[in-house]
Structure 1
Amino acid sequence: MSMSALRRARKQEGPRASLKQLLPYIFEHKKVIAVVIVLSIFGALASLAQPLLVGQVITRVEHGTPLGSLVWILVALVIVASLISGYQHYLLQRTGTAVVYSSRRHLIARILHLPISEFDARRTGDLVSRVGTDTTLLYAALTQGLADAVGNGLLFIGAIIAMAIIDWALLLLILVVIGVSIVVVGALSGRIRRATREQQEKVGELSSGMSRAVGSIRTIRASGASGREEAAVTALASDTYDVGVRIARVSAAVVPVAGIALQVSLLVVLGVGGFRVASGVITIAQLVTFVMFLFMLVQPLGTFFGAITSVNQALGALGRIQEVLDLPTESQEDAAIAARVREADLRQAQGTGSDADAPAISFRDVRFRYPEAVVAARAKAENEAATLLESAHVTVASDSLPPMPDESGEVLHGVTFDVPRGARVALVGPSGAGKSTTLALIERFYDPSGGAILLGGQDVRLLDREHLRAQLGYVEQDAPTLAGSIGDNLRLAAPEASDAECERVLRAVNLGDVIERSPLGIDAPVGEAGVMLSGGERQRLAIARALLAAPPILLLDESTSSLDGLNEQRMREAIDAVATGRTLIVIAHRLSTVVDSDHIVVLDRGRVVGQGTHSELVASTPLYRDLAKHQLLV
């Protein structure tokens, strides 16, 4: 293989973890590991003493000498070694479980604070599998020989020393056999690590595929696509199976190596050793003692070989874990972003403090392009969706697809507008115009590629994200409902809200009947993804959640799209009531919901093509006039 091909192969493997990266997880429990090591040493000493005592017993029997207390000492050593082994096993199992918990805790903390771009570029199921499946492999690495390496090493060295004292020539023959076995295992270990990482990636793809299928089960059933979706997910399971078989094949070559080494070594000892006994070089007692030490030599060797397999599997998984742990969180990115903003003097003339006279939100020549990884992930998702729908003879509607960049790579081009304090501003325009992207930038799910967004006169990139988002209430398009109760969903942004406050806001959005139809009231469950609620009820619950938090600025993305005329009117009344003294930015396709807005911004293909009131835009902006005509508003 050429060097360039080798580099490409290594790049495809992804980041490779080392044993050094595994040790910190173990050293978190160094006190318990220290106890395990001490127990391993005592256990090794107790085991090493047994062959010597057996040799003494055989010698005394040969000479007719009384055994005395030798037998009882031997029995005691066997019992002590067994008790030590049992307690050591318990400590290793407990510590292995703690290591898995620790790694999961770190992963959970990292994943839940990653930038939104990482979630847009990665499959959810793959991230979940790293928390579940990958971390489990760390358990096997610890419990199958890594932590008691000191005890096994002492047993191995002690056995070699004792065997050398008994018959060094016979020992040399044994070491040749063992050396060959170690070379064979070393050659196979790298293949196990690479295959394990590939297997974990396949498991992640399988989790993502199954998650997609289960999450869209109603659509799949209604489209008659159950069989096709089953085939697609089964194909992912088949890929995982193929890699698993490859790992089993390599592991199967490793496992018998220790057994073969023992058998060959035993044959060598019995053949050559028997000859040396007959020649008078060593005694029968020494040969028996040598054979017992041989078993003690091969026992840690077998554990070592098993540990190589387990550790290489763990390192393959750890590479995927470290890949996520090495990603910067939002807060870690903020310091570097703020430094670049200050260096580029993007704070505007207002300085670093809030300006009471400045607009609530200002866009200043904002340009934006999605990261390449996100664009690639969206394109792949669209291709997969298009293939599935095409096979189901369903046409993909253009407005169902997320906005994609034009030839320049940008989705927003020099967007500029102001949102006065306490005003209601509407963003309108065709699908893919960049309306939802605009709200995502205000929330700092992404940062602009150029220009600046100001909150009260201050660049939002100089603000702590939690402080920024505490001032914003965001109801996204198709806002998800979390599994749990109605109260759990409401209190997501206002955890201290009372039951009375929750009930008040529910009635304000016409959800009073939802809490009345269950004796549990606001503690009534909503089901997985809110399946026990209708689409309109889920939308109203999302709006109620934002209204309960009552932030200074509300961002509503198609917040009434799932509502009928009556509920839409009641929703508008509830929003009007809570909007007093607050700033609203509303996205709507139905212009009837925004014609009375204080200011309307018309977007088309990432550019502002018109601003003003409804009547002004009907007169000045052809795109808006066409939208209004189609909706019978002019």
Structure 2
Amino acid sequence: MSQTASRARRSPFSRPRPDEGPRATFRQLLPFLFEHKGVLVAVAVLSVVEAVATLVQPLLIGQVIDRVQTGTALGWLLGALVLLVLVSSVVGAYQHYLLQKTGTAVVYSSRRKLISRILHLPVSEFDARRTGDLVSRVGTDTTLLYAVLTQGLADSVGNVLLFVGALIAMVFIDPVLLLTIVGVIGVSAAGVGLLSGRIRVASAQQQERVGELSSGVERAIGSIRTVRAAGATDREQEAVSGMATAAYHAGIRVAKASALVVPVAGIAMQVSLLVVLGVGGMRVASGALSVAELVTFVMFLFLLIMPLASAFGAIASVGQALGALGRIQEVLDLPTEDAGDRAREGAAAVADAPSREGEAAAIAFREVRFAYPAAAVAAREEAAREAQRAIERARLETGDAEPADAPGREVLRGISFDVPRGARVALVGPSGAGKSTVLSLIERFYDPTSGAILLDGDDIRDLPRTALRKNFGYVEQDAPTLAGSLADNLRLASPDASDAECDRALRAVNLGEVVDRSPLGIDTAVGEDGVMLSGGERQRLAIARALLAAPPILLLDESTSSLDGVNEQRMREAIDAVASGRTLIVIAHRLSTVVDSDRIVVLDHGRVVGQGTHSELVQDVPLYRDLAKHQLLV
């Protein structure tokens, strides 16, 4: 395999190997089944009915053979036999339908649980995990739970009855003949039991490789323009193909382990049948057994082997399902974002209350320190390497690339500043100074390592995140756009906004041309990740979304970085209009956009090195003065 593909497979960003990670147990599978216990009880009852109808048939056939040999009229036997066959067939068909329906319901409920948990995970988990792998758990892993119900587990009650009934009947017919096949059945059952462990491990490995493949495809497609522009299409194809090869080989291992189950069951059946025919023929010849009894015994042998074969199949399917369930359960066991909240009684009311005039600052940082979790740092390093691989291939292969943040390195180092209520405060400084991290902490995507962040005098860790975030309108640096329409994007934060309100918000940020160029208006599609819009239009759409929600505090991270001079001026006018009476925190590299701020906070290497107005900072803070000189503002 190529070096590129090997590196993709051994990426430090990948999760631990499944044979080293958590494994699911059958007990963890039960809650998924018990959600549908009513249907499963019905299936069990139908299994019993079908088993009884099936067990009676060999007995009737034996009597038919006896009557034919003696020349006695068959009477009601044929009618009863036909009726039992019909009952067994109808019951089996309806039972099959219920199993298929319930299996689909189990997949549906497990997907709902996974989706709910994934969407409520802390942001740090998304930093540490690949999107494609999470998607694979929702799609591929949950599908394997379907096989648990549809391949023999749910009708195990009927199969047990069928097995026990056939066994009892065979004891009464000829215990000596039964003893000759017990050893064969025991050996085959032991063999399947040993194989089940291999199937579970191999299945977990397969699902892990499929998750990596999904992540690789998602990354390559998501950055297809960058890949094409860098001439890296063939290298990306090689890397993703390597992941597909790994998934293929993992699937082969599952197939090999599962395939051994089939011949074990087949061999048990064939050997048992040959033994019964050989020994049974001798016992018929000796007069110890009649022909009718031998035929009846053979039929019960089939009924004995059928549930065994079903059980063997169930063991294989459950082994695969437990492998997938381990990955599902890993996500379901993760704490949600709100799990660590120290929410006080009535905190939601405090967070939703209007700002208190004349009291505490709207936002206050008090000796805040913060370091990104090691897993998030590793993920960010790997993402950065992948983004630059096509362009800086030689540099990466020689190991010259340095991570932006080492695990445990503090990004913020005891910063303190106030954002007065109704003021406009700008955060400036060189790249990597910690500006965007400040906004992430305000939104509680992360909590400080130490220190406190106050909202109207209350520690934000004492407020439920949902209530806290109602106070903020947040525009991220990369201005993400959701697939859908302009209106869909605007109503993400304002689901009850009218068409007229959406239209006004779009025109306020100079997106009227986008609205007017399509007869669909605000229902104009923006494409996947907003591909139908320019970078500046995507940024303006994100700002319009925040402006439409009209929260008391606006957080703008480089909100005008993709705009030209004309649109930047119009955007500033729109923000000025909506910011009246609101608190505004702005991150900007272009000082021209923030020189008129009420307060400017200068950050460098995670520390506050100056605060004040533009004129004050030019005089007192060398770093700010240098930034201003480079941008021709002094």
If the TM-score is normalised by the length of the shorter chain, which range does it land in? over 0.9
For 1:277 and 1:472, locate their aligned partners in 2 and report how far apart those are by CA, in whole Å.
Answer: 89
The answer to whether the 8 Å contact 2:19/2:205 transfers is no
Q: CA deviation at 1:381?
A: 2.4
For 1:392 and 1:489, locate their aligned partners in 2 and report how far apart those are by CA, in whole Å.
Answer: 40
Which residue number in structure 2 is paired with residue 365 of structure 1?
A: 367
Which residue number in structure 2 is paired with residue 301 of structure 1?
A: 308
The answer to whether the 8 Å contact 2:426/2:588 transfers is yes
Cα offsets for 1:304-341 (capped at 9, x unmatched): 00000101111111111111111111222214x879x9
Q: Secondary structure at the match of 1:273?
A: helix
Which residue number in structure 2 is paired with residue 509 of structure 1?
A: 509
Cα offsets for 1:539-584 (capped at 9, x unmatched): 0000000000000000000000000000000000000011100001
Which residue number in structure 2 is paired with residue 552 of structure 1?
A: 552
Which residue number in structure 1 is paired with residue 467 of structure 2?
A: 467
Q: Secondary structure at the match of 1:542?
A: helix
1:451 maps to amino acid: G
The answer to whether the 8 Å contact 2:381/2:403 transfers is no
For 2:548 and 2:384, locate their aligned partners in 1 and report how far apart those are by CA, in whole Å.
Answer: 36
Cα distance 1:402–1:494, how it changes in 2: closer, same or farther (>3 A)?
farther
Which residue number in structure 2 is paired with residue 14 of structure 1?
A: 21
For 1:119 and 1:305, locate their aligned partners in 2 and report how far apart those are by CA, in whole Å.
Answer: 39
Q: Which of 303, 311, 318 in structure 2 is aligned with 1:311? A: 318
Cα offsets for 1:125-177 (capped at 9, x unmatched): 11111111011000011110110000011001101000011111211221110
Q: Secondary structure at the match of 2:427?
A: strand
For 2:402 and 2:431, locate their aligned partners in 1 and report how far apart those are by CA, in whole Å.
Answer: 9
For 2:516 and 2:576, locate their aligned partners in 1 and report how far apart those are by CA, in whole Å.
Answer: 25
For the pair 1:211 / 2:211, whether they are aligned, the reply is no
Which residue number in structure 1 is paired with residue 272 of structure 2?
A: 265
TM-score computed with the length of structure 1 as normaliser: 0.93
RMSD: 2.1
More off after superposition, 513-522 vs 10-19: 10-19
Cα distance 1:296–1:394, how it changes in 2: closer, same or farther (>3 A)?
closer
The answer to whether the 8 Å contact 2:47/2:158 transfers is yes
More off after superposition, 439-448 vs 610-619: 610-619
For 1:66 and 1:211, locate their aligned partners in 2 and report how far apart those are by CA, in whole Å.
Answer: 73
Which residue number in structure 1 is paired with residue 6 of structure 2?
A: none
For 2:413 and 2:168, locate their aligned partners in 1 and report how far apart those are by CA, in whole Å.
Answer: 77
Which residue number in structure 2 is paired with residue 350 of structure 1?
A: none
Q: Secondary structure at the match of 1:299?
A: helix
Q: CA deviation at 1:384?
A: 3.2
Q: Which of 155, 166, 170 in structure 2 is aligned with 1:163? A: 170
For 1:211 and 1:10, locate their aligned partners in 2 and report how far apart those are by CA, in whole Å.
Answer: 21
The answer to whether the 8 Å contact 1:224/1:392 transfers is no
For 2:361 and 2:627, locate their aligned partners in 1 and report how far apart those are by CA, in whole Å.
Answer: 28
For the pair 1:404 / 2:405, whether they are aligned, the reply is yes
What is the correspondence of 1:350-499 to structure 2 with a 5 Å cutoff?
356-391=358-393, 403-405=404-406, 409-499=409-499
2:586 maps to amino acid: V
Which residue number in structure 2 is paired with residue 51 of structure 1?
A: 58
Cα distance 1:355–1:452, how it changes in 2: closer, same or farther (>3 A)?
farther
For the pair 1:97 / 2:84, whether they are aligned, the reply is no
2:98 maps to amino acid: L
For 2:496 and 2:394, locate their aligned partners in 1 and report how far apart those are by CA, in whole Å.
Answer: 48
Q: Secondary structure at the match of 2:323?
A: helix
Q: Secondary structure at the match of 1:362?
A: strand
For 1:427 and 1:594, locate their aligned partners in 2 and report how far apart those are by CA, in whole Å.
Answer: 9
The answer to whether the 8 Å contact 2:18/2:208 transfers is no
The answer to whether the 8 Å contact 2:18/2:201 transfers is no
Q: Secondary structure at the match of 1:411?
A: strand
Residue segments in structure 2 that go unaligned for 5+ positions in a row:
1-15
Q: CA deviation at 1:12?
A: 4.5
Cα distance 1:252–1:49, how it changes in 2: closer, same or farther (>3 A)?
same
Q: Secondary structure at the match of 1:365?
A: strand
Which residue number in structure 2 is paired with residue 633 of structure 1?
A: 633
For 1:415 and 1:140, locate their aligned partners in 2 and report how far apart those are by CA, in whole Å.
Answer: 55
More off after superposition, 380-389 vs 309-318: 380-389
Q: Secondary structure at the match of 2:103?
A: helix
Residue segments in structure 1 that go unaligned for 5+ positions in a row:
1-8, 342-346, 348-352
For 1:403 and 1:451, locate their aligned partners in 2 and report how far apart those are by CA, in whole Å.
Answer: 23
1:492 maps to amino acid: L
For 2:597 and 2:458, locate their aligned partners in 1 and report how far apart those are by CA, in whole Å.
Answer: 25
Cα distance 1:118–1:470, how it changes in 2: closer, same or farther (>3 A)?
same
For 1:110 and 1:11, locate their aligned partners in 2 and report how far apart those are by CA, in whole Å.
Answer: 21
Q: Which of 246, 256, 261 in structure 2 is aligned with 1:254? A: 261
For 1:10 and 1:390, locate their aligned partners in 2 and report how far apart those are by CA, in whole Å.
Answer: 29
Cα distance 1:281–1:537, how it changes in 2: closer, same or farther (>3 A)?
same
What is the correspondence of 1:226-245 to structure 2 with a 5 Å cutoff?
226-245=233-252
Cα distance 1:395–1:305, how it changes in 2: closer, same or farther (>3 A)?
closer
For the pair 1:591 / 2:598, whether they are aligned, the reply is no
The answer to whether the 8 Å contact 1:225/1:392 transfers is no
Which residue number in structure 2 is paired with residue 111 of structure 1?
A: 118
What is the correspondence of 1:63-212 to structure 2 with a 5 Å cutoff?
63-212=70-219
Q: CA deviation at 1:474?
A: 0.2
Q: CA deviation at 1:389?
A: 2.7
The answer to whether the 8 Å contact 1:368/1:412 transfers is yes
Q: CA deviation at 1:354?
A: 6.6
Cα distance 1:207–1:10, how it changes in 2: closer, same or farther (>3 A)?
closer
2:147 maps to amino acid: A
Q: CA deviation at 1:379?
A: 2.2
Q: CA deviation at 1:93?
A: 0.3
1:578 maps to amino acid: V
The answer to whether the 8 Å contact 1:557/1:587 transfers is yes
Q: CA deviation at 1:355?
A: 7.8
Cα offsets for 1:349-393 (capped at 9, x unmatched): xxxx97851110000000001112111222222333343332399
For 2:116 and 2:198, locate their aligned partners in 1 and report how far apart those are by CA, in whole Å.
Answer: 32
1:478 maps to amino acid: D
For 1:287 and 1:48, locate their aligned partners in 2 and report how far apart those are by CA, in whole Å.
Answer: 16
1:171 maps to amino acid: L
Which residue number in structure 1 is paired with residue 5 of structure 2?
A: none
The answer to whether the 8 Å contact 1:403/1:411 transfers is no
1:168 maps to amino acid: P
For 2:245 and 2:138, locate their aligned partners in 1 and report how far apart those are by CA, in whole Å.
Answer: 22
Cα distance 1:141–1:355, how it changes in 2: closer, same or farther (>3 A)?
farther
Q: Secondary structure at the match of 1:412?
A: strand
More off after superposition, 248-257 vs 38-47: 248-257
More off after superposition, 373-382 vs 530-539: 373-382
Q: Secondary structure at the match of 1:13?
A: coil
Q: CA deviation at 1:276?
A: 1.0
2:281 maps to amino acid: G
Cα offsets for 1:89-139 (capped at 9, x unmatched): 000000110111010111111111111111111111111111110110000
Q: Secondary structure at the match of 1:532?
A: coil
For 1:152 and 1:56, locate their aligned partners in 2 and report how far apart those are by CA, in whole Å.
Answer: 25
Q: Secondary structure at the match of 1:417?
A: strand
Which residue number in structure 1 is paired with residue 11 of structure 2?
A: none
Q: Secondary structure at the match of 1:388?
A: coil
Q: Secondary structure at the match of 2:532?
A: coil
For 2:205 and 2:109, locate their aligned partners in 1 and report how far apart those are by CA, in whole Å.
Answer: 24
Which residue number in structure 1 is paired with residue 8 of structure 2?
A: none
Q: CA deviation at 1:402?
A: 8.4
Which residue number in structure 2 is paired with residue 500 of structure 1?
A: 500
Cα distance 1:338–1:129, how it changes in 2: closer, same or farther (>3 A)?
farther
The answer to whether the 8 Å contact 1:363/1:452 transfers is yes
Q: Secondary structure at the match of 1:452?
A: strand
For 2:143 and 2:450, locate their aligned partners in 1 and report how far apart those are by CA, in whole Å.
Answer: 43
The answer to whether the 8 Å contact 2:17/2:205 transfers is no
